[in-house]
Amino acid sequence: MNDVIQASGLARHYEVGGGLFGSARTLKALDGAGFTLRAGETLAVVGESGCGKSTLARLVTLIEPPTAGHLVLDGVDVANADASAIRRLRQRVQIVFQDPYGSLNPRKKVGTILEEPLVINTDKRAAERREDAMDMLARVGLRREHYNRFPHMFSGGQRQRIAIARALMLRPKIVVADEPVSALDVSIQAQVLNLLMELQEELDLAYLFISHGLSVVEHISNDVMVMYLGRTVEQGPKEEIFASPRHPYTQALLASTPFVDPTRRAERVVLTGELPSPLNPPGGCAFHKRCPIAMARCSVERPELLRYGDVHVACHAVDS
C-alpha cells in the first residue's frame, strides 16, 4: 500500500492575548504529532475536547499551515509546494464535518451542493456534473429524485450521506472525518459507519477519523492515536490499543467506553481534576495532575513517545 500521509513533529501554535494590559502567550494547540497513513486504511485520532484533534484536521486539510514539523500529502511536501500544487492537493484531501445540520447550505438544492466542487475545480459541462452527482447519490444510498430537494427535507443520517457524497465528488484520496456520527442517533451511527467502510473499500480511501471516544472507532480503524493536550500519549494498531492499553489516559478512555459484552467491561478508572488549560499546561507530563499512578518524576520530566513492540507510549510508568 502507498503512504498518502506522512507526518512528523507536526505542531500548531497560536499567539494569544497581548495588547495594552498584558503580554502575548503561546497556545500550543498541537505540539508534535507524527503518523503515517496508507491508502485504504483508517487512523482514528481520539481524545477530549482541546487535545488537538481538530487542529490536526485543519493542518491535514491545508486550512492552516503547521508552525513546525513535516507534512507530506500524496507524495507532495506541503512546505515546499507552490500555490498551484496546494490547490491540487486540496482536491485530494476532503473533509466531512460533524454537524450535518450546519454543514449543508439550506438555500441550495442537493444537486447544486454536490456539483459545486466540480464547478469550482473542473471544467466539466453541466450534463457531466449532473451525472456525476446522480452517481454519487446512488453510491451513498440515496435516490436520483433527491437531487432536486433541499437539505431540510432529509433526516440527520440522510444529510450526513449528502455531506459524504459532497466530499467524494472530486474523487479524493484522503478524507478527514471530523466526528462524522456524533450528532446522529445511535441507531443511525452504525449505518453511516458501514457506509464509510464500504466506500473506503470501493474507492481505496484513506480516512483520518476524529472522535471523542473509543467506542465509535473500534470497527472502522486500523490504527489509533490517543492525544492529550496537544501531544500523542499512545499510538498503535487498534487491536493492541483495545486489548492492552498502556497509558493511564487510554485506560481511562477505554474504561468509560460502554460495551454490551460484560466480559469486555474494563475496571473503572477514576480521573480527578479538570483538563488543564493549554495556555498554562502543567510541567512534566501534562497528564500527571489527573493520573492515578503519577510519580514524582512525572511532574518535572516530560515523557517521550517511545516504542514498545508495535505501540508507541509516552509514559514514565511503562518503564518502571
Average confidence (pLDDT) over 63-91: 94
pLDDT of 276 above 80: yes
User: What count of other Cβ atoms lies within 10 Å of the Cβ of residue 236?
Assistant: 22
pLDDT of 21 above 80: no
Average confidence (pLDDT) over 119-140: 96
Nearest partner of 7 among 33, 27, 41, judged by Cα: 33
**Quick one: pLDDT at residue 149?**
97
**Quick one: pLDDT at residue 316?**
94
User: When comparing pLDDT for 8 and 270, which is higher?
Assistant: 8
Comparing 62-76, 199-213, 256-270, 285-299, which segment has the lowest mean pLDDT? 256-270
pLDDT of 98 above 70: yes
Average confidence (pLDDT) over 144-154: 95
What are the C-alpha distances in Å from 175 to residues 23, 44, 81, 171? 39, 12, 20, 10
Distance (Å, whole) CA 287 – CA 282: 8
Residues whose CB falls within 8 Å of the CB of residue 30, separated by 6 or more in sequence, listed in order: 10, 11, 12, 52, 55, 56, 59, 66, 230
Instruction: Kindly report the CATH number assigned to the domain that includes residue 146.
Output: 3.40.50.300
Residues whose CB falls within 8 Å of the CB of residue 277, separated by 6 or more in sequence, listed in order: none
Distance (Å, whole) CA 154 – CA 263: 39
Q: Give me the number of domains the chain comprises.
A: 1
Confidence band for 54, pLDDT divided at 50, 70 and 90: very high
Distance (Å, whole) CA 68 – CA 32: 8
Residue with cell 498502556: 246
Structural domain span for residue 74: 3-319
